[in-house]
Structure 1
């Protein structure tokens, strides 16, 4: 476990190490994303943040709080229901029109729902929210991240989800239509990690992280049916013992999003020389990637910062080509949606 004091000390150094980052927060108006965004505003000098959300009324509250925390920052709300890829594309276009590079793409938006029909684009509802929309943000904004890395600036993608909780995939059900609720959730997490692993290999100048945030009470914690009642009752009775406090969650996730201990693979040796010392305490040395190698560019993190590595199923997916297949499947879904809209345009 990385001590909270170590995390707080590292975040305090952001004012000099990363004073004016350009960031995109997918899910910055509520919950874990908002908790992290507040810590970012407090820890940097003049951040520029595009925060994505569905509800303008939430954005008004967020904007006021961020400006009170750090009036030198620039905070730009981008309204977007990420359920649809076409909405994600519009949001990304707004950002690309204004920025030549970004330093951080942070994704925490999501919800737990079952029983919904497919989206208007023909995508499984849960898969659209949990995976495809975030993958599309990465796909669209990758050129801006690569531009940042090319200028020797900080460049990272972090997805808050189920890092370290991966299980085996059904390669014949990558769009997650035929899985039950629990298996679907596990499959979503695995698909996220596998896709980030592929992207890290293809983009060695950018670091990729899939983190598990742990039990944090947020506005989005709703579950189906009787399960919802049980969860809410448990939180009411034992929440203060079971749940990670809002401020600590924000501090920890800011650390994961910005710390030098999770370098891109091309910068691993440089990071090791700068950070690694004999006897260095946890949280101050270069972390182990999901493949068990220090600084390998893609990291799966437990809520306490512990790097989860060497998981057999993930290493097998690399060797058997499933990792590449997952990303190719993702691109095929995107292409199908693009062709759908193209046909509608031609028919209009």
Structure 2
């Protein structure tokens, strides 16, 4: 476990020379993304942050941006509206950012929620939580990789469930379209390994970029309310899950500081804020750059045997399927 004291000490070293100069936060309108933006801006460093979110969040986010500017007048936070559950909208947002920037230092991805309700598809025919938590995130990465490649210490952090992979991925129904094949548990055990196998290939193909698949533990983000649950299930969530999350979750500030550490520390891959502690181990179980599966204690949890099996049996098929789905938007 990386002590919170050491995390704060590392984050205290972020300044004009070491901060990510240009960051893109997708899903930063609430929860972990929002907590991490605030932690980053509070460092007082000069920076530019693109905050991507839905039209319905715009008014609330303008108030948040004003709050951030009062904290740090050197931070330029740019609201970028987009309904990123739609891949066409994701593509549009990426094109806007690419037209304005020549490099990106940090891409931070958190969009999504727990799919407690029935299967719900977007206008593009994708299940909405899978689009948010997998396809849209991978599309952002693929579009912005050239800009990440121009940075000195580029990093991609995607917050979902790194280290919690299982080998129960359904390779015959990757989008869980078969009748009765979709539900919150099946979705979790499908999306997380798809995430890891794809990010590992991206990390191997782009060795200069640090990739982190983060499992945040219990954080009171409010995401359980966004799962389209109804009836008895909605009451169950309200009466049991929400109180449990409130009691045992990590605080907003601690979560933000931990994810800022993940976003900047050289503990992961050797690039970033100087780290004198134990180096992180990537998904190939090596102290080198690559994909890091990082838990809520900021420990690397390679889940080695499961990830090896996924690499051998699932990675190629998942990659090919993702390429087929995303091709029209690349």
Q: Same fold (TM over 0.5)?
A: yes
Over 3 Å counting, the alpha-carbon distance change for 1:235 and 1:43 in structure 2 is farther
Please report how far the alpha carbon of residue 116 of structure 1 lies from its aligned counterpart in structure 2 after TM superposition. Answer: 3.9
2:297 equivalent in structure 1 = 304
Compare 242-251 and 41-50 and name the one that shifted more.
41-50
Over 3 Å counting, the alpha-carbon distance change for 1:239 and 1:174 in structure 2 is closer
Whether the 8 Å contact between 1:198 and 1:324 is mirrored in structure 2 is: no
1:10 equivalent in structure 2 = 10
Please report how far the alpha carbon of residue 64 of structure 1 lies from its aligned counterpart in structure 2 after TM superposition. Answer: 1.2
1:137 equivalent in structure 2 = 140
2:186 equivalent in structure 1 = 183
| Structure with greater contact order relative to length (CA < 8 Å, sep ≥ 6) | 2
Deviation string, structure 1 residues 72-97 (Cα, Å, up to 9, x no partner):
11110100111111100111111001
Whether the 8 Å contact between 2:283 and 2:292 is mirrored in structure 1 is: yes
Partner SS, residue 278 of structure 2: coil
Q: Which runs of 4+ in 1 moved over 4 A?
A: 235-240
Distance in 1, Cα, partners of 2:42 & 2:189 = 34
Over 3 Å counting, the alpha-carbon distance change for 1:70 and 1:199 in structure 2 is same
Deviation string, structure 1 residues 101-121 (Cα, Å, up to 9, x no partner):
000000011122332442211
Distance in 2, Cα, partners of 1:44 & 1:20 = 12
Over 3 Å counting, the alpha-carbon distance change for 1:219 and 1:275 in structure 2 is closer
Partner SS, residue 287 of structure 2: coil
Measured on the aligned residues, the alpha-carbon RMSD in Å equals 2.1
Pair 1:106 & 2:143 matched: no
1:94 equivalent in structure 2 = 96
1:342 equivalent in structure 2 = none
Distance in 2, Cα, partners of 1:84 & 1:296 = 31
Paired residue for 2:220, among 201, 217, 220?
A: 217
Distance in 1, Cα, partners of 2:238 & 2:17 = 41
Distance in 2, Cα, partners of 1:59 & 1:240 = 24
Q: For this pair of structures, how many residues does the alignment match?
A: 319
Please report how far the alpha carbon of residue 301 of structure 1 lies from its aligned counterpart in structure 2 after TM superposition. Answer: 1.0
Compare 31-40 and 295-304 and name the one that shifted more.
295-304
2:160 equivalent in structure 1 = 161
Compare 222-231 and 9-18 and name the one that shifted more.
222-231
Whether the 8 Å contact between 2:91 and 2:329 is mirrored in structure 1 is: no
1:254 equivalent in structure 2 = 260
Distance in 2, Cα, partners of 1:239 & 1:115 = 23
2:66 equivalent in structure 1 = 64
Over 3 Å counting, the alpha-carbon distance change for 1:136 and 1:310 in structure 2 is same
Compare 232-241 and 55-64 and name the one that shifted more.
232-241
1:325 equivalent in structure 2 = 317
Deviation string, structure 1 residues 37-64 (Cα, Å, up to 9, x no partner):
0000011411100010102112212211
Distance in 1, Cα, partners of 2:242 & 2:19 = 39
Paired residue for 1:288, among 266, 271, 281?
A: 281
Distance in 1, Cα, partners of 2:134 & 2:35 = 22
Unaligned runs of 5+ in 1: 277-283, 340-348
Compare 244-253 and 173-182 and name the one that shifted more.
173-182
Deviation string, structure 1 residues 259-304 (Cα, Å, up to 9, x no partner):
11111xxxx5x89xx755xxxxxxx221011222222411111111
TM-score using structure 1 length: 0.86
Unaligned runs of 5+ in 2: none
